Amino acid sequence: MKLTKVGAGATVALTLMATAAFAGLRQPAPVAVDLDAQFASGDLITAADAKNDEVFIGCGTRNFDDGVGGVFRFAFCQAADAEGDRVVCNTSNPELVQTIREINDSGYIQFSWTDDGAGNLTCSATGFSTQSFYADKHSKGNQKGNER
């Protein structure tokens, strides 16, 4: 009888350890906008799951026929953090546009910008990281509004 209890306890312990190992590392990166340093960062999943509906981060691209046989391409990045700091910058730099085009829906974004003094913000650097610890965990019970 005593052996059965020990065996059952060991089974429960191993099951819990296996569940913890299955969960994997989760490293949320909340959106942060630093207007003085002209830098914003955060991961898309944490932003989407933020309790504050004003928090977001993302980038996008647009392509337009230029009317003379070519295509005008530009990109933008935007973010707002929980403190209410917001930024939108844009760029037509082909390398930055291409980098922004490669962003997917579950990763970490960072970008910086320059201000021409008249309030026109130009994206000057972008970065994107796809790591398993930024991946969507909705399948494991997380829903909008839950802490991560």
Buried b (16+ CB within 10 A) or exposed e, 44-69: bbbbbbbeeeebbbbbebeeeeeeee
Helix (H, G, I), strand (E, B) or coil at 37: coil
Q: Which of 72, 73, 74, 59 is nearest to 110 (CA)?
A: 59
DSSP code at position 1:
-
Provide the domain count of the chain. Answer: 1
Question: Domain for residue 73, yes or no?
Answer: yes
pTM of the predicted model, to two decimals?
0.73
Question: Domain for residue 140, yes or no?
Answer: no
Cα–Cα distance, 106 to 46 (Å, whole number) = 9
Encode the chain (148 residues) as per-residue pLDDT tens digits: 454 454 555 544 444 444 444 457 777 899 999 999 999 999 998 999 999 999 999 999 999 999 999 999 999 999 999 999 999 999 999 999 999 998 877 789 999 999 999 999 999 999 998 877 766 655 444 444 444 3
What is the number of residues in the chain?
148
Question: Domain for residue 10, yes or no?
Answer: no
Residue range of the domain that includes 78: 27-135
